[in-house]
Structure 1
Amino acid sequence: MLSIHSTSVELEGVPTEIMVQGFADRILVLVTQLGKVGNLIQASIPSTTPLLSADLDEDSTNGLPAPPAAIQLTPLLGGASSEHLQTLHSLYAAQIATIIWVEEAKKMAVNRRSVVVGIALHRDADERNTFHGVMNHLYRLVK
């Protein structure tokens, strides 16, 4: 995934930009409804940590692969204004990274790169619908 993949969609009535760019050592994913990078979080897991089978997506209740327990989230830039938003941003980072890792594994990628996620979301949007909308569109970008 060396090229830039991006899409612009409307989620809960709010224009939302999703961009994925691969680099040699990591992958950058930006999700913004505010036109800026927002809070940057790096997600990584040891290369020896097994990912759950890609077949899990079909069995999972929400259609998303479960993030591995060994995932490490590191804040890089910015911060959430509340504990709730910090938890929400961590959830986005963990889920986005897991989707990237599962899709790269399907493509037989040898190295498991860290994923840096930038998140800048409107506070008024329905969190659950926005989350699932972002993940669905991310899947379309990386498949």
Structure 2
Amino acid sequence: MLNSSQACIEINGIQTDLLIQPFADRIFVQVTQLGKVGNLVQVSIPSTALLTSSGVSNSSGLALPTPPAAIQLTPLFGSASSEHLRSLHSLYAAQIATLVWCAEGQAPGPDRRSVIVGIALRPSMQTVEEGFDGHERKTFQGIMQALANMLNRVA
């Protein structure tokens, strides 16, 4: 069973606040570098979908579980100002929810809780035509590592 947890860490020189708050029917995860909730996205998957905790290791050695193909992202509040930010927020929401589900060891079934992700990130100063820049990659890796550590402590 997941417990509440919060942390304030520095990633790429930016203060980043993280919060995990479980509720009976959902789990709320907040990632903010701006001191506000930002965009809210609900992440769910069908009750029959299987989760695997195996994933691909990145350059920092962090092995992230692969989000399931059946994942469903539903914007609740707020919207990103560009297609690039929408893609980035979707990536964060899917990966965060997958980390939460794997930490809980949730088997398929109707009791699997949806994850609500609040994302408010400081925009990168670099502009990238396609893909994500190095700053965004380092920020993503740092946040996922911190959340994985928090989930391992509270799960």
Structure 2 length as normaliser, TM-score? 0.84
| Alpha-carbon distance in 2 for matches of 1:77, 1:120 | 12
1:45-56 alignment to 2 at 5 Å? 45-52=45-52, 54=53, 56=54
After superposition, the C-alpha distances for 1:35-67 in whole angstroms (9 at most, x for unaligned) are 000000000001110012x2x14xx13211100
| Alpha-carbon distance in 2 for matches of 1:2, 1:101 | 10
| Alpha-carbon distance in 2 for matches of 1:109, 1:46 | 8
| Alpha-carbon distance in 2 for matches of 1:118, 1:105 | 22
1:141 is matched with which residue: 123, 137, 150?
150
After superposition, the C-alpha distances for 1:107-128 in whole angstroms (9 at most, x for unaligned) are x797210000000000137100
Seen in structure 2, the aligned counterparts of structure 1 residues 20 and 78 have a Cα distance that, compared at 3 Å, is same
1:132 aligns with 2:132: no
Partner of 2:6: 6
Once the two structures are aligned, what percentage of the paired residues are identical? 57
5+ unaligned residues in a row in structure 1: which ranges? none
Partner of 2:112: 112
Q: How many residues align?
A: 138
Partner of 1:61: 57
- Letter paired with 2:10: E
Partner of 2:131: none
Partner of 2:75: 75
Partner of 1:88: 88
Contact kept? 2:49, 2:108, Cα under 8 Å: no
| Alpha-carbon distance in 1 for matches of 2:108, 2:29 | 18
Displacement of 1:4 in angstroms is: 1.9
Q: Is the partner of 1:64 in helix, strand or coil?
A: strand
Displacement of 1:137 in angstroms is: 0.4
Structure 1 length as normaliser, TM-score? 0.91
Contact kept? 1:2, 1:23, Cα under 8 Å: no
Q: Is the partner of 1:24 in helix, strand or coil?
A: coil
Contact kept? 2:42, 2:73, Cα under 8 Å: yes
| Alpha-carbon distance in 2 for matches of 1:13, 1:65 | 26
| Alpha-carbon distance in 1 for matches of 2:73, 2:108 | 22
